[in-house]
Amino acid sequence: MIVSITSRLENLFTRGATEVADAQVTEAPEARLRLRRTVVLGLISTLMMTGGALYGGSSFETHLPGAWFFGMPGGPIGSIGASSKSPPALAIFLVYGGLILFTRVWIGLLRYLRHHHGVPIKKIIIVVAIWAIPLLLAPPLFSRDVYSYAGQGEMTSHHINPYDYGTGVLGSTPFSSMPDSVWTNTPSPYGPTFLSIDGVLTTASGHKILPDIMLLRLLEVAGLALVVAATPTLARSLGRDPAEAILLGAGSPLVLTSLIGGAHNDALMVGLLLAGLAIAQRVGTVPGIMVCALAAGVKAPAALGVLFLGWVWAGPGASFLRRVVTTLGALAIGACTFIGITQLAGLGWGWIGNSTAADQSFTFVTPIGAVARVVSALAHVVNINVTAIGVRNVLAVFGLLVAAAIGTWLLLRAPKDGVTRNLGLTLMVLAILSPILWAWYVTWGVLVLAPVATARLRTAIIAIATIETFVGLASVRGIVVAFGPNGPLADVVLIAALVAIAIVPLSQMRKRRHDHEAMPTGTPAALVTSSA
C-alpha cells in the first residue's frame, strides 16, 4: 500500500537539494528510489517510537491494564512492555532513535522544499499522513491528558459539571483511574466548546473508555485538518510556499507526536484559531472573530486571535482611536459568541477560575522552573533559605508581565507586520514564559507561525520545535535515571547507536554506489578522486 502511494509522489522531492540537478532528474528511477526511501524512513521512525513507547513502560505511556487495545497488561494481546518505571535501553533507543531519524527526514524534506517551490499540497499531506499512521494506532503517548478528557466527557454526559469536580467524583471506573492523579480532585480548565464536544463523543462511544479515546484522537486529527486547510490561505497571502508551510507546521515531529500521538486538545484550539484567521481573510472579519471565539472555548490563549483581528480591522492607515473602537467591537462579538457557547453547554463560567490548574506542576524543563531551581541552589550556597517553588512563584508573575509587555508591542505593530506573524510570536512568548511549559504548548506558536516563517524565524521555529521534541516531550529524568541499571556496556552501545542514527548518511551511500556503477570501465581512481 505504501509503495503504491509513494510511487504517485515520485516528482515530489528527494533527500536533499544537492541530490538533484533540476526538476527533470526526479523522473529517473534513482530519484524515485530516494523518494520512497524518504517516505519509508519517516514511517520507520514513527514505528520505532510506537514500539519503543510500548516496550518502555510508564516512561512513555500509562501502561495501566486495559489502557489500550494492545500492549497493555490485561489487554487482549497481553503486555509487550516493561513493568518497571525505568525504561530498558532498547526502549530508549527506539523512542529517541525514532525521534532523531524523524527529525532528520523532516528537516531534509524542508530543505528540499525551500529550494523547489510549487510542490502540490496534496502530496505533502499524503506524506505527512503516512508518517502519522503508527501514531494514530498507538496508545496515547508521552501524556495521560486524553484520559482526563475522557473522564471530563463522562462527567458532562451525566450532567456533572467538570468545573466543580475532578474525575474522582466518578468513583471506581476507568474514567477516573486512567487519568493522571492530578485530575482526581482538580476541576477542568477547558472551555465550553471542548467540553460540549467531549460529552457528545463520550455518549457516542457508549460510555466505553477505549472507543472514547479513539474518538477524542480523531477529534484532534480534525483539528489538525483545520490547520492544514487554513495554512495555504495564510501562506499564499504573504507569498509563501503553502506546501513548505504545511510541512513546517503540521508535519513537524513535535506536532505529530504531541497532538496526534498525545491527542492533546491543543490541535482543536489551533485548528479553529487558524481557521478564524483564514476566514477573516477570505470571507470577512466578523465570522473570523466568531471562529476565533470558538477556539477560545477550547483553551483561553486563542482569545488573542479576537484581540489581534479587532486591532487590524480598521485597516492599515487607521488612527489609534479608531483601532480602539474596532477592537472593542471585536471583543463584543467574541463575547457574544462565547456567551452563546456557554449557554448551549450549560456548564457556566467556572473554567475561568480553573484556568491556572495546570500551573501547579513543576518541571525542570520549563524555563521559569529551571531558573527557579538554579536561583534556589545558588541561594543555598550563600546560606539563604529560598525554596525553588517560592522563587518560581515570583518568576511566574514576572514572566507573565514580560509576556504581556511583548504581546502588547506585537499587537501595536500588527497592522504593519501582519496579524498571523505577530499573533504567532505572542503565543510562542506566552508559552515559553508561562509558569509551566508543556511541549504541546509550543505548538501554538509553531503552527500559527508556519505560514509566515522565513529566514531566521523559520530557523528559530525548527530549532524550538526540535528542542521541545527531545527535551519537553518524554520524561528526561526517567531517561537519565535509566542509564545506571542498564550497565556501562549497554549505555555505551546505546549512546553509540543514537549517535550513529544522528550522523550516518541516509542517502549518500546509494548515491556513491550509483556513481561508481555509472563510471566507465577502466577509469583511473585518481581521476575520480580529482573530479570529486
Distance CA 90, CA 494 (A): 8
Pick the closest to residue 213 from 275, 150, 170 (CA basis).
150
Per-residue pLDDT tens digits of the chain, which is 532 residues long: 333 433 332 233 233 333 333 333 343 454 455 567 778 899 999 999 998 888 876 777 777 877 888 776 655 555 565 555 567 778 888 988 999 999 999 998 998 888 888 888 998 999 999 999 999 998 898 888 999 999 999 999 998 999 988 888 888 888 888 888 777 888 888 999 999 999 999 999 999 999 999 999 999 999 999 999 999 999 998 889 999 999 999 999 999 999 999 999 999 999 999 999 999 999 999 999 999 999 999 999 999 999 999 999 988 888 999 999 999 999 999 999 999 999 988 888 887 776 666 655 556 667 887 788 888 888 878 887 887 778 888 888 898 999 999 999 999 999 999 999 999 999 999 999 988 888 899 999 999 999 999 889 999 999 999 988 888 766 555 566 666 666 677 778 888 888 888 888 775 444 444 444 443 444 333 322 233 2
Complete DSSP assignment for 303-372 = HHHHHHHHHHTT-TT--HHHHHHHHHHHHHHHHHHHHHHHHHHT-TTHHHHHTTGGGG---TTSHHHHHH
DSSP 3-state of 104: helix
Distance CA 447, CA 255 (A): 8
Cell representation of residue 361: 506542576
**Cβ-contact 424, 443 below 8 angstroms:** no
pTM equals 0.85
Q: Between vectors from CA 468 to CA 463 and to CA 473, what angle results, nearest 5°?
A: 155
Cell representation of residue 30: 534513482
